[in-house]
Structure 1
Amino acid sequence: MASGTARIFLIAPKLKATFLALGLLTATLTLGGCSSVFFYPDNVTYITPDRLNLNYEDVYLDTTDGETLHGWWLPAETTQAPAKGTIYFLHGNAQNISSHILNVAWLPAEGYNVFTIDYRGYGKSTGDPDIEGALHDSETGLRWLVEQTGVKGAPVFLLGQSLGGAFGIALASEWVQRKETPELSGVVLDGTFSGFRGIAREKLGSFWLTWPFQIPLSWTIPDDYEGVDRIAGISPVPIMIIHSVRDGIIPFHHGKDLYEAAEEPKNFLQTDTPHAATFVIPAYKQTVLNFLSRASN
């Protein structure tokens, strides 16, 4: 009996520490809103476009709720006027534009302008990130972009990668449904999840501490911007959905779910690269360029 009692007292501190960690984790997610699992910003400058031999301009935009957003404008490298079009790039959930710029650095040489912003709390942008705020920031960037002299009269495309694709779906569907001008010429989604709540449940369910709470915690996320519910609203604007069978961050079924929910005209590009590494493969670049060319006509 004495030895059994000793074992109980040896185990108890471990259980106490486990429950304490669980309590702290649950409280953090609940008080901060489960949407905090989507954002991992920093303010480190990893690389600037000039290091890639690209011309660029720093752009600072004021939002209607008092934040200042930082972005980069990369003009097309072409002697033709105007450029073939402009790509509005919404990046993924980690770091900032300086760590994502390689995903679009190849486009100016193909004759496309590129504009990209950091959401609030990322890079040189002020504030703290959340879903509603980042959606507002995405629209602020697009509204600035379409008013620029070098953009008017040429095709405008939205390219969203990972989390940026989720914002892109909501933004593009609203833009189309409100009949905003200029009209978008096409939307490209790369490695995007099918819904904020759905991916949150998957991620919370993959960790043993949060597995029992995956459903109630996911309810703290607003369900107004689920991609599978919104993507049909982008039609008749052409859409290309890209997803890798080797994506270890956003499982492949999310891309297929989005494709099935989308209306025509739509395209699906199945790839086999790691998450957010689509454009290291020349053939995938060319497929996207072909889509942009068709959508421009």
Structure 2
Amino acid sequence: MRRRLRALLLVALCVPLGFAGCSTLAHKERELVFNVAPGTASWYYGMPQGMVEKRLPIATATGVQHVDSWWWPADDPKAPAVLYLHGARWNLTGQLFRIQQLHDFGFSVLAIDYRGFGKSDGDLPSERTVYEDARVAWQRLTELQPDPARRFIYGHSLGGAIAIDLASQFGTHAGERAPARGLIVESSFTNLAEIAKSLSTPWLPLQLILSQKFDSIDKIAKVDLPVLIVHGTGDRYVPSRFSEELFQAAHGPKKLLLVPGASHNNSMHVAEEEFRQAFTKLFGIAPNPA
């Protein structure tokens, strides 16, 4: 991932050199950001029993496209439901271990592949299209779990930025119930430019150059939900200080869970009991016992 971000930085620095190649450079930037791996992940062992696959329609300027979704209901029909938003590179077949963990915690899980990933329609994703896909998936979750008090959003890595954007769109008025119980963000970052800066010279104005912003640091201040932020201190791809900055910017009920030695991908597994305790304290709902 660090190599990919360095390449992204080089692309960004090339943009001001001339407008003739801007379209090509912007396309390359999106390729580097999403880094979509085709096909099925080598560790995928098949869809678990009880999981339902469904294609969700989304209207575009050129017609209707579809987002591939997996719905895995919990045994308890009253269980809380979570929208799972994955990060870059791997499609849903590479995400099953994390979906399994959320299901083991007692959640019903709705997970999607953004357009350009897996079986979803579309070619190369963009910041705009993944935000659209998340909103379509959220609408589906509201149908599957009508009770707002039992709905959650979870995003990992780049999916954390997508989850924060989605949650920031929820507008509530005095006396109205929030559309969701809470937001969970794991191994994410403040914005794309800051990650690129961390690999180069900090004074470069990359936020003005990159076309893909993923500006979570500003959006999380607009999130009117309890927020649980999880990050491993041993993350080699996204330093945990980014989650500390997100935590500081969040203004509502919040909890930061830094997991000593955990990597980019295994914080919830390494700190399973700590996650359960944080979840219960912040959201008031206890996951299934281990």
Fold equivalence (TM over 0.5):
yes
Q: CA deviation at 1:109?
A: 3.5
1:145 aligns to what?
141
1:166 aligns to what?
161
State yes or no: 1:227 paired with 2:216. Answer: yes
Structure with larger Rg: 1
Residues 1:45 and 1:77: Cα distance change in structure 2 (over 3 Å): farther
2:3 aligns to what?
none
* Deviation by residue 1:126-178 (Cα, 9 ceiling, x = unmatched): 11211111111111110111122xx1125100010000000111110112468
Aligned amino acid, residue 269 of structure 1: L
State yes or no: 1:274 paired with 2:274. Answer: no
The alignment yields a C-alpha RMSD, in angstroms, of 3.0
Please show how residues 113-192 of structure 1 align to structure 2 within 5 Å: 113-127=108-122, 128-148=124-144, 151-153=145-147, 155-176=150-171, 183-192=179-188
Indicate the larger mover: 170-179 or 57-66: 170-179
What SS is found at the alignment partner of 2:100?
Answer: coil
1:41 aligns to what?
36
Distance 2:116 2:167 in 1: 23
Partners of 2:82 and 2:151 within 8 A in 1: yes
What SS is found at the alignment partner of 1:71?
Answer: strand
State yes or no: 1:77 paired with 2:85. Answer: no
Residues 1:144 and 1:278: Cα distance change in structure 2 (over 3 Å): same
State yes or no: 1:95 paired with 2:85. Answer: no
Q: Which runs of 5+ in 1 are unaligned?
A: 1-21, 206-210
Partners of 2:253 and 2:282 within 8 A in 1: no
Partners of 1:201 and 1:218 within 8 A in 2: no
What SS is found at the alignment partner of 1:94?
Answer: coil
Aligned amino acid, residue 104 of structure 1: I
Q: CA deviation at 1:289?
A: 4.2
1:68 aligns to what?
66
* Deviation by residue 1:11-57 (Cα, 9 ceiling, x = unmatched): xxxxxxxxxxx89x94687342634432011332232554xx54200
Q: CA deviation at 1:62?
A: 1.3
2:284 aligns to what?
294
Count of residues paired in the alignment = 260
Distance 2:280 2:161 in 1: 23
Indicate the larger mover: 237-246 or 28-37: 28-37
Distance 1:268 1:92 in 2: 20
What SS is found at the alignment partner of 1:107?
Answer: helix
TM-score, L = length of structure 1: 0.77
Residues 1:217 and 1:82: Cα distance change in structure 2 (over 3 Å): closer
Distance 1:42 1:106 in 2: 23
Question: In structure 1, which of residues 250, 262, 266 is the aligned counterpart of residue 238 of structure 2?
Answer: 250
Residues 1:246 and 1:58: Cα distance change in structure 2 (over 3 Å): same
Residues 1:262 and 1:226: Cα distance change in structure 2 (over 3 Å): same
Aligned amino acid, residue 142 of structure 1: W
Distance 1:37 1:131 in 2: 12
Question: In structure 2, which of residues 239, 250, 253 is the aligned counterpart of residue 265 of structure 1?
Answer: 253
Q: CA deviation at 1:195?
A: 1.0
Distance 2:173 2:155 in 1: 20
Partners of 2:197 and 2:204 within 8 A in 1: yes
TM-score, L = length of structure 2: 0.79
Q: CA deviation at 1:123?
A: 0.5
Residues 1:213 and 1:40: Cα distance change in structure 2 (over 3 Å): farther
Distance 1:196 1:215 in 2: 12
Partners of 1:278 and 1:284 within 8 A in 2: no
Q: CA deviation at 1:94?
A: 1.2
Q: Which runs of 5+ in 2 are unaligned?
A: 1-9, 15-20
